[in-house]
Amino acid sequence: MSLTNEQILAAHKANMETLFGLTTKAFEGVEKLVELNLTASRAALNEAASHTQAVLSVKDVQELMALQAGLLQPLAEKTASYSRHLYDIASGTGTEFSKVAEAKASEAQKNFASMVDAAAKNAPAGSETAVAVMKSAVSAANNAFESVQKAVKQATDAAEANFNAMATTAADAAKTATPRKR
């Protein structure tokens, strides 16, 4: 089975569209990351200025200690929030890439299966056993690939659940470890 010029051009066009689509998704992820970092930097700068003003107006050591202790809890919460946003950006971008990869893999599987079917139709008489073995091997490879995809999806879901649980635990620990200023 040979490919025609039209088929080659169509495949090239589809690959270029996929490349540009992935590039767009990557830039969107970078854009979100830059926006998150700018927002976090702006907030940190404002908080540093406000904290400096508060430190300069302190009258005694106890007030300074209370001010410093009151700074730790919001810092831990903000760090956990920043980590969650960062994870969401990375996860969203990764999900988009995974969708494209899965679609391309599925398309490649279908194309390969149709090539095997076309080869089987044009196979010489007496080669039915070899064709059946080839089809069986292709089917086994497809099943193995689907199993790997499911395992990766389960592992990703478990990692996300663990990350969310860890972030919640860290934020809760920061709340209980640092007494609130009254």
What residue ranges do the domains of the chain occupy? 5-177
Has this prediction a pTM greater than 0.85? no
Task: Note whether 55 and 67 are within 8 A (CB).
Answer: yes
Note the pLDDT tens digit of each residue in 86-117. 988 998 898 888 888 888 888 887 877 787 77
Residue 26 binned pLDDT confidence (cut-offs 50, 70, 90): very high
Least confident segment among 80-84, 164-168, 173-177: 173-177
Q: What is the mean pLDDT of the segment spanning 137-155?
A: 80
Which pLDDT score, from 0 to 100, does residue 181 have? 46
Helix 61-121, helix 5-56: angle, nearest 10: 170
Distance from C-alpha of 79 to C-alpha of 39, rounded to nearest angstrom:
13
